[in-house]
A and B are shown apart, each in its own frame.
Chain A
Amino acid sequence: MTNCIEIKGLCKSYPDFSLQNIDLTLPGGTIMGLIGENGAGKTTTIKCILNLIRRDAGEITLLGRDNLREERAAKAGVGVVLDECVFHDALRPRDLERILAPVYPTWDNGLYRDYLDKFRLPGKNLIKTFSRGMKMKLSLAAALAHRPQLLILDEATAGLDPVVRDEILDEFLNFICDEDHAILISSHITSDLEKAADYITYLHQGRVVLSQPKDELLDRYGRVGCSTGDLAAIEPGDLLRVRRGTFGCEGLTSDRDVFQKKYPGLTVDPASLEDIMLLIGKGESLCTD
């Protein structure tokens, strides 16, 4: 199984934000969810992968090719869906065949029309008459019609209703049935990633704070609910982060079974991706107390 994306030591600095030493590997046949709060660096990472911005340091390999030296060859195997539909309102879905077929040597008009039918998109209607869901499905159809090996999606499911999101997630699962295919998707909608992703990479303030198989995260991480008094009895190393509220505290453990055995009197629930994001993003280290 080859890696579809390999990022080593990626750095990019802006005056008020910097992406620091990002390492990321996306194996073939998998979906990686890139999560993190707004401004954490998800879009910056994707822009660096697609060479939309110049990186300060690091190496990026797409489908085994350097994303700068072999940019065009690397991008030929990538389908991209951005956070909004980029096709002009005055165009019709059928027009995209004329625009994108000469761009991608592997463009398949039959496949594109199959996707239009599958997503119930009228080929002859103006794109300006489409809903946001239809526009995103059109973007996905256009991204898939050249038979890419890798799909990169930046907040592509944001603002869509659950039915459309589910339809799109099903398409992702179909796509990665092929072991050579992979998907990198940045999203705030952690429930979607819990359904579809194999790996989760969590970016916080420009750094990777977590990058693990999703099942491992959901099986092992736990959310501990306790009082301030209980918290005082917990050894600092046993909780990754804690949040103190008016009515109690909650903490995050990276091994809920071990924690439960050590502290049988405390309630430990499985942590969702949202819990992990909230506790790491807004929580504090227990040692700082």
Chain B
Amino acid sequence: MYGLIWKDFLVLRKTLRLYVLFLLGYLGMALLGIFDLTFVTTFCVVILMILPISAFSYDEFARWDRYARTLPLSSRQIVGGRYLFVLLLLLVVAAIGAVSAVLLSLTGSADLWESLGAQLASLGAALFIVDVMLPLNYRLGPEKARPFLFAVTFLPFILLFLLAKADILDLSFLDRLRPGQVIAGFILVLLTALAGLAVSFLISCRVTERKEY
């Protein structure tokens, strides 16, 4: 399984290198006051959402999946490799985001807890999307699953907007939340997304066990 995690990092190393350069660039500009931390946070979210899907695309292009099934690994281990890759990616982008927040708070450009809270919420939301996209990629393949990325990303926001507009959902309570409650809410979002990742893993295992190559 560790070999498969290595494989994802090695296949994506060029992209990863580029993304890290971009992140450092954004961070540098944020430290200079050209951008605020939102750029770094957004880029972390993009990395977390895009790279796992890119890994599926590269595998499909190389026709790796069929070969992977010939290795002495169970389908659970093969799927587990991809999920651990996602978790490691989450840790890396979370660490980069946290370091950025600390650096910006030291220069006085941003409030540390506010920045960390925003990071948590953004990564949690991104992880929710990944939770849905991974089984879809296993089921449909990256080509057919791609349109769902837009649906999964935007539909919840459109739905929330419509419900709020139609006075079915009252979101005004968000304005009354205390800072501590907001941070707790953000942590809950990330923890729920992590629990979702476990459910997503089980679904993906079931999908791959039934799949023929």
Tell me the complex Cα distance, A102–B14, Å. Answer: 23
Q: Which residue of chain B has the shortest Cβ distance to A85 in the bound complex?
A: B62
Interchain pairs with CB closer than 8 A, number: 83
What is the predominant secondary structure among interface residues of chain B facing chain A? helix
Interface residues of B in 62-82 (CB under 8 A from A): 62-64, 66-67, 69-74
Residues of B contacting A158 with CB < 8 Å? none
What is the minimal beta-carbon distance from A153 to any residue of chain B, in angstroms? 11
Q: Is the CB of A95 within 8 A of B3?
A: no
Q: Which residues of A approach B to under 8 Å, CB–CB?
A: 47, 50-54, 71-76, 78, 80, 82, 84-91, 95, 98-104
Q: Is the CB of A95 within 8 A of B2?
A: no
Tell me the complex Cα distance, A161–B58, Å. Answer: 28
Residues of A contacting B212 with CB < 8 Å? 47, 52-54
What are 7 inter-chain pairs, A to B, with CB distance below 8 A?
A53-B212, A72-B72, A75-B72, A82-B63, A82-B70, A90-B14, A91-B7
Report if A72-B73 is in contact (Cβ < 8 Å); known contacts: A52-B213, A95-B10, A103-B3.
yes
Report if A99-B4 is in contact (Cβ < 8 Å); known contacts: A86-B67, A88-B11.
yes
What is the minimal beta-carbon distance from B162 to any residue of chain A, in angstroms? 42
Q: Is B39 an interface residue (CB 8 A)?
A: no
Q: Which residue of chain B has the shortest Cβ distance to A54 in the bound complex?
A: B212
Report if A84-B70 is in contact (Cβ < 8 Å); known contacts: A54-B212, A91-B10.
no
Interface size on B, residues (CB 8 A): 27
Q: Is the CB of A89 within 8 A of B62?
A: yes
Tell me the complex Cα distance, A56–B155, Å. Answer: 42
Tell me the complex Cα distance, A148–B213, Å. Answer: 22
What is the minimal beta-carbon distance from A135 to any residue of chain B, in angstroms? 11
Q: Is B6 an interface residue (CB 8 A)?
A: yes
